[in-house]
Structure 1
Amino acid sequence: KSEELISAWQMKTMPDLISRDSVSIPDMVEMGMLAPLSKLFPDDIAAMKGRWLEPCWNLCNYKGVQYGIPTYVDIAPMLAYNRKMFAEAGLLVPTNWAQVIEAAKKLNTTDHYGIIFPATLGLNDLEIFIGIAYGNGGRFLSPEGDEVVFNGKGFVDALKLYIDLFKKYKVTPPGILEIDYMKTIELFLRERTAMALGMSWVPVIAQNLGVPEGFEYRMASFPMKEKPTGKYPPAAAIMDATTTYMMISTSKVKKEAWEFIKWVTRPESMRMWAGVRIQGRVPTTHEGFKTPELAKTYPDLVREYEKGTIFKGAISMPSFPGFTEMIKVFGHAFQAALLGKPVQKALDEAAEECQDILEEM
């Protein structure tokens, strides 16, 4: 998608509006691609801002300027687990990495794998892993934004966890490097695995694929390591506003385009992202957390919202100029380590290459 957008921008064939993930905003702004909504329509932005939860609204803000209006957020990392398999094995939901390993070993049988995680070069797959690394005190960039640091202990130990599950304990399918997030959830729904890593979008995939009759599953936040080893504060989760409406800077009909954005993000339209028509999306507005449909899909999140603790400790998924290029480099290092290359060496080399990209930006 990123390559298609860049090509369209270079060929001057862009539409007036796009729907894109919020982590793409910095790259697109630096290319001159996006219109600054809060500068063009300050009164409207000020009037509507209060409908959104502040952490969600801020995902679309870059250098103090609002460039997009979010509809829902995806949250990572999440663990989906088969309730029947857990009950039969006498297991509780894991609360740390050691318990994840032990549960996966106990649940690994000739009929199904203990756990599965997606490990292709796709952005969703990599962001799930990054969420685990951030929970272990890792970061992609330093807080100052001038140094690539994903070769630190937070990422290294998270990648070793993946490798242990994959190669040491052999509790995952053998072909995970070719299994993306959609196939991961499909295998989980077919009861080919007892646990699956994903994001908060698992219910929407289950809705699209169809949940087998009698199949019961639950979702929980993927647990942190017993003692996080990274140097930064462990993140409770990472978020991305995956369907965010943005205006292209070259639009000749900015006023009309803005009226459409306001219409498509009005309360009546936003209800569909709150479980009314589409399950498995975490809303970004206050009214979204008040629908009875959402309470059925995400009862824990609704309780957190009511207590005022929703998104506490959660931060944005990596979002900065150059990320689109860097994630490709990181992805190849991620897969190389899963295939046997020493983890530290793989991440050191990738970090050095990404540092060059960062400095060029």
Structure 2
Amino acid sequence: MRGAIRMSRVKKTGASLTAAVMLGTSLVGCGGGSTGVSGPDKAADKAVDTAKPSASADKPVELTFWDGAWNDAKTPGIVKKFEEKYPNIKIKVQSNPDNGMSDKYLIALKQKNGPDLVNMAVDWITPFAAVGGLMPLDDYIKKDNVDLKDFYDGAISVAKVNDKVYALPYRTETHGLIYNKKLFEAAGIDAAKGPENWTQVMEQAQKLTKGDVYGIALPGTNVGNLTTQLFNMIMSNGGAILNSDNTKSMLTEPAAVEMVKLYVELYTKYKVVPNSMLQNDGVANRNLFSNDKIGMYMTGIYDIDPIKQANANAQMGVAMVPANKNRKTILGGWAVGVTTSSKNPDAAWKFINFITQPDISAEYSVTFSSRKSAAGNPKYQDPLAKPLLEALAYAQPLPQIPQWTQIKQIVFDNVQLALSGKASPEDAMKQASKAIDDLLAKK
């Protein structure tokens, strides 16, 4: 399922978003601005004057909303409720598949021929604002007294560029660890709780590995899948991907190298990861879990129902991501923004304000609402969901810079070298860090 951490579905678009961000920076350059970080700042600021509430949205209008295909079962009901409340506003939904979604969005936004509204992964907001494709929403937020404090801090922070809000998040998520209670019990491991740190993960994975059953699954393919899980591990070990001002790589620091080494050696040395790791993405790992072939893996709430559907007898436990030094995980999610192509921004804002209400966002989201006040919603009271909901308090957004997805690609390429035995984890991170530093140094 899409999401950011973007997770699962989100992660599937890693390669696509790499292309999109690279395209975005080149288009900024073609427009006469810098291809570095400063260029997007100017492009984003340029949209400010068009973002103020204007004429009344009471006259009949039709808005085009670009949504993700995975929402096809939910969006019609949400739109129906909105149109009942605002009968003069009609929403025309265009459903978009995973593959190529970010590229399509970015090209349309840059060329000013996009829809009125876009549903986007939170890490797309900065690149889209960078090319002047999104309207800042601050005046609308002020006019309608939207309480930004009711949004999870990380969720609202990733919606901002230069202290202006370019989208409102409705969906927020982070990773947890799902484990197989039946396999834990068979291996003599306490199934009442998951491993608390990465040493326990390694020890328990070794006990769980027997025959064609493996202790843990980690993705070896798909840029988003691999980097999301690796970055979770690094952050939980007290490490970081970039320094505080996003100008240098931190991947050669001990806290990062330790986790890269563990990620690789769980496969190459300890052999507690399936032999098919280099071909496995998040969906493959979920299928292995559903078939009782792995003891545990990192994922989000969106995998719980598919596992239940695939295996009615699945005995799942859910825990937070193991933490060595810091309880930190990656914050992901989705948000809705008004494009600078829209001729009816007032009406478009009404839809955003509607869809991000606590009850509506909880209904629309396949994970968690971005509103703190929605935490008591009945759908989140499932014992399997609670650890993932609690984990949101520790979730932090990744760096919001235009080069971010290129950085993920660099890390992915070098970790794959280590997994295939062509470089040591240490050398892989040295190469990755040099490439990242060179990328960040470009102006």
TM-score tier, shorter chain, comes to 0.7 to 0.9
How has the CA–CA distance of structure 1 residues 30 and 283 changed in structure 2, closer, same or farther, with 3 Å as cutoff?
A: same
1:243-288 Cα offsets, whole Å, 9 max, x none, are: 21122223222112112212222344223157xxx4xx12221332
CA distance in structure 1 between the partners assigned to 2:283 and 2:151 by the alignment: 29
Alignment of 1:31-42 (within 5 A): 31-39=131-139, 41-42=141-142
Output the amino acid matched with 1:298.
A
Moved more, 138-147 or 6-15: 6-15
Q: Does 1:79 align with 2:177?
A: yes
What secondary structure, in the 3-state scheme, does the structure 1 residue paired with 2:178 have?
strand
What corresponds to 2:290 in structure 1?
189
**Paired residues of 1:121 and 1:328 also in contact (CA < 8 A):** no
For residue 108 of structure 1, the aligned residue among 169, 186, 209 is: 209
- Asked whether the equivalents of residues 202 and 266 of structure 2 are also in contact (C-alpha less than 8 Å), the reply is yes
Supply the AA of the counterpart residue of 1:28: F
TM-score (norm 1): 0.86
Specify which of 337, 355, 358 is matched with residue 437 of structure 2: 355
| Equivalent-residue separation in structure 2 for 1:273 and 1:40 (angstroms) | 22
Classify the secondary structure of the residue corresponding to 1:258. helix
Alpha-carbon distance in structure 1 between the residues aligned to 2:312 and 2:327 = 36
Q: 1:137 aligns with which of 231, 234, 238?
A: 238
| AA of the residue aligned to 1:186 | N
Instruction: Report the counterpart of residue 202 of structure 1 in structure 2.
Output: 303
In the alignment, residue 56 of structure 1 is paired with which amino acid?
A
Decide whether the 8 Å contact of 1:39 with 1:65 is kept in 2: no
Residues 358 and 373 in structure 2, CA contact (< 8 A), matched pair in contact too: yes
Q: What 5-or-longer segments of structure 2 have no aligned partner? A: 1-100
Report the Cα distance in structure 2 between the residues aligned to 1:147 and 1:39, rounded to whole angstroms: 35
Of 104, 107, 117, the residue aligned with 1:4 is 104
Distance 2:317 2:248 in 1: 38
Matched position secondary structure for 1:201:
helix
Tell me, yes or no, if the aligned pair for 1:24 and 1:324 is still in contact at 8 Å.
no
For the residue of structure 2 that corresponds to 1:161, the secondary structure is: helix
Equivalent residues in 2 for 1:319-334 (5 A)? 319-334=400-415
The Cα RMSD (Å) is 2.2
Q: Taking every aligned residue pair, what percent have the same amino acid on both sides?
A: 24
The question of whether the paired residues in 1 share the 8 Å contact of 2:177 and 2:299 is answered with yes
Cross-structure match for 1:256: 347
- Of 203, 215, 219, the residue aligned with 2:318 is 219
Q: Which of 52, 60, 64 is the aligned partner of 2:159?
A: 60
Distance 1:299 1:327, change over 3 A: closer
| Offset from partner CA, 1:43-82 (integer Å, 9 cap, x none) | 22x3342442334323322321111111221213x21110
How far has the Cα of 1:235 moved from its partner? 4.6
Question: Moved runs in structure 1, 4+ residues, more than 4 A?
Answer: none
Highest relative contact order (Cα 8 Å, sep 6+), 1 or 2? Answer: 1
- In the alignment, what sits opposite 2:127? 27
1:291 correspondence with 2:389: no
TM-score under structure 2 normalisation? 0.71
Please name the residue that 1:231 is paired with. none
Give the distance between the partners of 2:113 and 2:361, measured in 1 at CA: 29
Aligned-residue offset at 1:5: 2.6
Shift of 1:301: 5.5
- The structure-2 alpha-carbon separation of the partners of 1:222 and 1:47, relative to structure 1 and needing over 3 Å to count, comes to closer
Q: Give CA deviations for 1:102-121 in whole Å, capped at 9, x if unaligned.
A: 11111111141111111213
Residues 261, 426 of structure 2: 8 Å contact kept? no
Structure 2 SS opposite 1:47: coil
2-structure distance, mates of 1:75, 1:121:
18
Deviates more, 1:282-291 or 1:332-341: 282-291
CA contact (8 A) 2:109 2:340 kept: no
Q: Does 1:161 align with 2:257?
A: no
